[in-house]
Amino acid sequence: MAQVRADGVDLFCESTGTGDPLVLVHGSWTDHTVWRPAIQADLKAGFTVVAYDRRGHGASGSPPGQGTRRQDEDDLAALIGSLGDAPVHVAGNSFGASAVLGLAARRPELFRTIAVHEPPLIDVVASDPAVLARLQPTMTSVDAVLDHLRKGEDGPGARLFVEEVALGPGMWDALPQETRESFTAHAQTWLDEQSDPQWASLDLDGLSRCTVPVLLSRGTQSPPWFAAVLDRLAEVLPRTRRTAFDGAGHMPHVTHPQEYVAALTGFIREA
């Protein structure tokens, strides 16, 4: 266990294993513990796995005022710098995947490989009416979640997000108690993330200059608009590989850890 100082904030991180560094960037509503199923499924075999709490999550600092995804990107850069081993392998999920790609568009030299699962970068497909139509049911659910959280109803908001946005009906009760508690505890941080005007945008021109290998993944049970986002990213990234986790949704490292680890480690070794 360690802390890394980044722009006045202490980031809590945990390392395990030996080998090349592999940094894991969690999504919204959770903290570094969400990676434990994957780590326990032998992700640490051959890698020094570094999982950390993004600012406002877990044991990391939570500064006052509106946060931005750009801060998360800079935090990741500081963490990679603290390892002294750049470039490194980095895997991100959801909002964490968006932060990884945002940093890759500015600092591609920090990355050896990149693996991202379903970054919710809706701005990159906002000009496509067909995609927007597929996105509408998700946005209706997101608006309902936001309404709960603005009223301070964090528990109901978290359940609604899991069942109608992220993982599907009935999945709230299927999650480990620790994960459900984490979702509820981080509800207001997600509300803050959604208030950042740039949370869903990406510098595609900058990303097109990132020549490191990138794995783009999705779950077959996730909303179809995620596939459209990945299609757009694949158009601009020079070196991509695609994979889909059969029967999985937005968090395959939690629900299908063995399959996730096999895909990630296979990609890294081939790259």
- Are the C-beta atoms of residues 206 and 105 closer than 8 Å to each other? yes
Per-position pLDDT tens, the chain of length 271: 688 988 889 999 999 999 999 999 999 999 999 999 999 998 888 899 999 999 999 999 988 888 999 999 999 999 999 998 889 999 999 999 999 999 999 999 999 999 999 999 999 999 999 999 999 999 999 999 999 999 999 999 999 999 998 888 999 998 888 889 999 999 999 999 999 999 999 999 999 999 999 999 999 999 889 999 999 999 999 999 999 999 999 999 999 999 999 999 999 999 9
- Are the C-beta atoms of residues 119 and 229 closer than 8 Å to each other? yes
What is the model's pLDDT at position 167? Answer: 84
What is the model's pLDDT at position 148? Answer: 98
pTM (2 decimals)? 0.95
Alpha carbon distance 122, 125 (integer Å): 6
What is the model's pLDDT at position 227? Answer: 95
Which residues have C-beta within 8 Å of that of residue 205, sequence separation ≥ 6? 236
- Are the C-beta atoms of residues 97 and 27 closer than 8 Å to each other? yes
Alpha carbon distance 223, 230 (integer Å): 12
Q: Which CATH superfamily is domain 2-125+200-270 in?
A: Alpha/Beta hydrolase fold, catalytic domain (3.40.50.1820)
What is the model's pLDDT at position 145? Answer: 98
| Radius of gyration (C-alpha) of the chain in whole angstroms | 17
CA angle at 108 for the pair 219 and 230, rounded to the nearest 5°: 25
